[in-house]
Amino acid sequence: MEKYPDIARGFTKREKALVDSLWQQLAESLNSAGPPIKDVNGWKKIWTDWKSEVKKKLAQNKIEARATGGGPFSKYTLNQTEETIVRICGGVSGLSFGLEEEYLISSDDDPRLDTSIAQKPTPKETTNERLKKFLEYDKEWEGDRQGFS
């Protein structure tokens, strides 16, 4: 998804055959890592659901940031994978969405950022680590969905 952010966002001007081929490659790669095994449409749904959950958290954080007080603090803290989704899908820098400072994009990743602001470096994570987290999240999500059926 990081390699093709236009496809990750769901808005691309690429040929449909190429997009379908890239999704097929992604599905094969994810399926080769082990359960769950899904077809392309299954992985597309997971990606869409994941983006939707992150957007809901960001919307809640925005509402909470505008709140004047008088109630419990209810801001969501996004994990590194969720922050990556925000970055890939065109979200703005972490501070406006209440992301943890330690995961902010460094100026090395985005030269448009002001280098005079002290930021902790972005922890590097291997593709296998990200895939493992994704699969764990998927298992949790499936379990949560079955619990509400």
- pLDDT category of residue 104 using cuts at 50, 70 and 90: very low
For 10-21, the pLDDT digits (tens) are 889 999 999 999
| Average pLDDT of the chain to the nearest whole number | 77
For residues 136-142, average pLDDT = 72
- pLDDT category of residue 148 using cuts at 50, 70 and 90: low
For residues 90-107, average pLDDT = 45
Name the amino acid, one letter, at 14. Answer: R
Residue 87 has pLDDT above 50, yes or no: yes
Structure tokens at 122: 């972005």
Residue partners of 133: CB distance under 8 A and separation at least 6: 81
More confident residue, 29 or 91: 29
- pLDDT category of residue 121 using cuts at 50, 70 and 90: very low
Angle at 5 between CA 66 and CA 94, to 5 degrees: 30
Q: What is the DSSP string of 9-70?
A: HT---S-HHHHHHHHHHHHHHHHHT-SS---HHHHHHHHHHHHHHHHHHHHHHHHHHH--SS
Q: What is the pTM (predicted TM-score) of this model?
A: 0.59
Q: Tell me, what's the pLDDT at 116?
A: 44
CA atoms in the 13 A half-sphere facing the CB of 133: 12
For residues 74-102, average pLDDT = 71
